[in-house]
Amino acid sequence: MKALFLNSLKREKEAYASIKMTLMKNMANFTVWHVYGMLNRTNKDYDMARKAYTNALKFGKNKDTERVLTDLSQLQIYVRDYEGFANSRREILLVKPNMA
């Protein structure tokens, strides 16, 4: 959360330093990967955001990944990755069928 606050205060270098320090302590935390993806998406680094969201999905549990999948699918439609978008939406249907 600290990184999101710093980023909104236009202190991007500190935000990225905070995220990277947290990732060094725990690389398998899906929440940190999700926040890292949100930071990259905000700063228009869409390729890195996609990688961060993918890592968040890799380390998250099924019940925790619906928000990450939604963010990933929005990013994919924004960068016109239609095949990835279709796969992400299919995954959302598998995780939570009533969220279509």
pLDDT on residue 19: 92
Spell 37-74 as b/e; 16+ CB within 10 A means b.
Answer: bbbbbeeeebeebbebbebbbebbeeeebeebbebbbe
Is-contact 90 73, C-beta < 8 A?
no
How many CB atoms are located within 10 Å of the residue 7 CB? 21
- CATH 2.40.30.10, applies to 2-99: no
Question: What average pLDDT score do residues 41-46 get?
Answer: 93
Domain ranges, ordered by start, for the chain? 2-99
Kindly tell me the sign of the dihedral angle through the C-alpha atoms of 10, 12, 17, 18: positive
Confidence (pTM): 0.88
Query: In the structure, what pLDDT confidence band is assigned to residue 100 with cuts at 50, 70 and 90?
Result: low
pLDDT on residue 60: 85
pLDDT on residue 99: 66
